[in-house]
Chains A and B, each alone.
Chain A
Amino acid sequence: MIRGAVRYIDRRSRTAPFVRKALRYVFPDHWSFLLGEVALYAFIVLVATGIYLTLFFVDSTAPTVYHGPYLPLQGQHMSEAYASVVNISTTVKAGLLIRQTHHWAANVFIAAIVLHLFRIFFTGAYRKPRELTYLIGVTMLTLALLEAYLGYSMVDDLLSGMGLAIGWSVGMSIPFFGANLMSLLFHGPFPGQSALWPRMYVAHVFLLPVLIGTLLALHLTLVALRHHTQFRRRRETERRVVGVPAWPGQTPRSLGLAFATAGVLFLLGGLVQTNPVWLWGPYHMYVATNGAQPDWYLGWLIGGLRLMPGFDVVIDGYTLVPNPFWGGVAFPVVVLGFVYLWPWIERRFTGDEAYHNIVERPRDAPWRTAVGIGVLSWVFIVFVAGSSDRAAVLFGLSYTGQIWFYRVAALVLPFVFGLIAYRVCNGLVAGERVEEDRKRAEAEARLAHAEAVTKP
């Protein structure tokens, strides 16, 4: 049966040599090399559950009155889009499972990309010749953020509607042409929903998934063509790659990871409630709720928006920089810009133009680790600042006090943490060296002792 299939395929595509090579492709073996795969499998779950949802979601902001089984919304005015999601969540069998799995998959997708990015950054895997692979990966992260934001905004519930208004305001804050660009996208001032919704839908359901999928294929092809990086152990060198072959060794491992990812996502989708939009109610321009937050991967931005003191930069009546620009545009552009440009920034300082197939442990590149930890702690502190109102509610901490603390901390602590990281790296390496010296000395001593015993 296997022979029949192989023969059939080779006769019609002449790919047998390629398949033989592919089946014995060598995968360097380390657990941290699997994080990208987790993201890939989460993406597959997203596409599968997403397609199912498109069969039930109504992409329209036409007003309707709810007459479904959920009592607190009986007779309430809402959009068709919101009503269809309430319908999926309460009436469609397995609808809520698929919807929640989709939402958890989005969260895990971005978390996996971020962890994968950490691995790439802190081990130097982005260095020549893999810069292109790296750029494609960072672009996928940016697109994933946009895709996820559009996805939960299409539901038109109170929380995401507020988030959409904020997104619009951030767009308006772009100097010179922000208002024009937003007028184009929204077909006039916010809400502009009758035009916006089909655009969000097409972008979320077709344009962005196709774009991400294409970039993903390119990314994986480049990884395969250049071959995966590896840590140095015994036989691994810049010239020789050591690892597990695709068949039979790697296949069950990767497939196992795939099923595990899907399994975790479906377990969460059924057991842990996420985005219960029927509780929030429909969005209206003139109402709001306390405690509204974006999903975690955009939480760093709400921190940025809340930390800024209240001023617009005005020159002679021309509002050059409205306030939301700093937290909503400048902050992510600087951070993502840093991430994009880092391979070249590092090259500028180290002068390292060599090819690298071997990756380093974070401790082996202390200043890269320090800079990475510094930037990461900056983002993280701003992110935590975005939750200071809940901290005021839960722990009684003064909100204004926290805002001032975080303003200072965000500027000072990154340097402190960077310095600590630098020291820790050096300390760990020094400790290893001492350990090595000790082992060598012991071995020599043992040898000398053995010789002394055998010699008469």
Chain B
Amino acid sequence: MRALAIALAILASGKHLYGQHCASCHDTANAPSLRGVGPLAADFYLRTGYMPLPHLGVQPRRARVTFTDAQIRALVAYVGSLGGGPPIPKPHPARGNLAQGLHLFTDRCSGCHQVVAEGGYVTGAVPPQLGDDTPTQIAEAVRIGPNVMPKFSRRAISDAQLDSIIRYVQYTRHPLDRGGWSIGHIGPVPEGLVTWFIAAVALLGVCLTVGRRLRT
């Protein structure tokens, strides 16, 4: 009985919060309806700060989360109560295989997110870098495909494969940088900057020490 009362209270709180913060868009044609999206979607968008959107028409981006944990749980419960949709996933990256993770990530993800998960560009959107995502958030994003991201079902990427992908993404936060200062893991652009602003500057300095200047 008590559990039921608490659950009902959470739902009521969620409904109230929904009315305050979400209905203005999601109950209109300006935003997708949340009927049938399920707790996974709500949990993802709220915990990443993607929602609420600062204004219509922009790509949802990771932002400071203004809701408390209790509020998020209430909203998730309410959206879940609207019917349908997958539950919040429970990934186990420690069970994943790192090599399989790199292989799958390269095949499905690196085109947009870059092979070391530093983020990238696709016409009309900016796939983010993945350094701030928790394993649950990665799993959620893979399953719902937010914004223009494709949606990968269990058939396309099994839970075991997802564990490997998440394990690899975690690895990309501190990959093997055996060569020293990693300068961003995106390749030649920072290398060019180092060539000109460090090496060329240093060697020009040596030339100026060794050689004469015009006015001397």
Contacts and interface: CB of A to CB of B under 8 A. Distances in A.
B200 A111 contact: yes
Contact of A104 (B101, B114, B188, B199): B199
Interface string B44-64: 000000000000000000000
B118 interface: yes
Given A30-B213, A158-B115, A393-B119, A107 B107 contact: no
A279 B116 contact: yes
A390 B120 CA distance: 7
B36 to A, nearest CB: 32
The interface centre, meaning the residue of A90, A100, A273, A281 with most chain B CB atoms within 10 A of its CB, is: A273
Nearest to A108: B199
Indicate the size class of the contact surface on chain B.
35 or more
Contacts of B194: 268, 272, 274
B17 to A, nearest CB: 29
B203 interface: yes
A89 B178 contact: yes
Contacts of B4: none
B188 A296 contact: yes
Interface in A258-303: 260-261, 264-265, 268, 270-276, 278-281, 287-296, 299
Contact of A287 (B107, B206, B208, B214): B107
A273 B192 contact: no
A89 B180 CA distance: 12
Indicate the size class of the contact surface on chain A.
35 or more
A131 interface: no
Given A273-B182, A273-B183, A289-B111, A257 B210 contact: yes
A400 B178 CA distance: 37
A392 B121 contact: yes
Nearest to A31: B211
A35 B192 contact: no
Given A76-B99, A393-B126, A231 B214 contact: yes
A256 interface: yes
Interface stretch (B8-16, B19-27, B168-176): B168-176
A115 B200 contact: yes
A267 B74 CA distance: 56
Interface in A73-132: 73-76, 89-90, 96, 100, 104, 107-108, 111-112, 115
B207 A90 contact: no
Contacts of A179: none
A340 interface: no
The interface centre, meaning the residue of A72, A253, A271, A293 with most chain B CB atoms within 10 A of its CB, is: A72
Contacts of A35: 207
A72 B180 contact: no
Contacts of B118: 291
A38 B210 CA distance: 12
Nearest to A103: B191
Nearest to B121: A389
B99 A257 contact: no
A293 B187 CA distance: 7
A276 B196 CA distance: 20
Contacts of A273: 177-183
B212 A291 contact: no
A418 B114 CA distance: 38
A115 B199 CA distance: 13
A299 B192 contact: yes
Given A30-B214, A76-B99, A387 B189 contact: yes
B212 A107 contact: no
Given A75-B99, A296-B192, A276 B202 contact: no
Contacts of B207: 31-32, 34-35, 38, 257
Contacts of B203: 38, 108, 112, 260-261, 264
B70 interface: no
A35 B126 CA distance: 41
Given A260-B203, A288-B111, A74 B99 contact: yes
A287 B176 contact: no
Nearest to B193: A296
Nearest to B196: A111
Interface in A17-45: 29-35, 38
B136 interface: no
B92 interface: no
B175 to A, nearest CB: 6
Interface in A383-441: 387, 389-390, 392-393, 396, 399-400
B180 A272 contact: yes
A274 B179 contact: yes
A429 B112 CA distance: 53
Contacts of A276: 175-179, 182, 185
Contact of A257 (B110, B119, B188, B206): B206
A287 B210 contact: no
Nearest to A89: B178
Of all A-B residue pairs in the complex, the 8 with the closest CB atoms, nearest first, are A296-B192, A290-B120, A273-B179, A31-B211, A289-B115, A389-B121, A107-B195, A289-B110
Interface of B: 98-99, 101-103, 106-107, 110-116, 118-123, 126-127, 168, 171, 175-183, 185-189, 191-192, 194-196, 198-200, 202-204, 206-208, 210-214
Given A74-B98, A107-B199, 14 more contacts: A74-B99, A76-B102, A108-B203, A111-B196, A112-B200, A158-B106, A233-B214, A257-B206, A264-B199, A270-B180, A280-B116, A289-B114, A295-B191, A299-B189
9 contacts: A107-B195, A158-B106, A257-B207, A274-B191, A275-B188, A276-B177, A290-B110, A296-B192, A393-B126
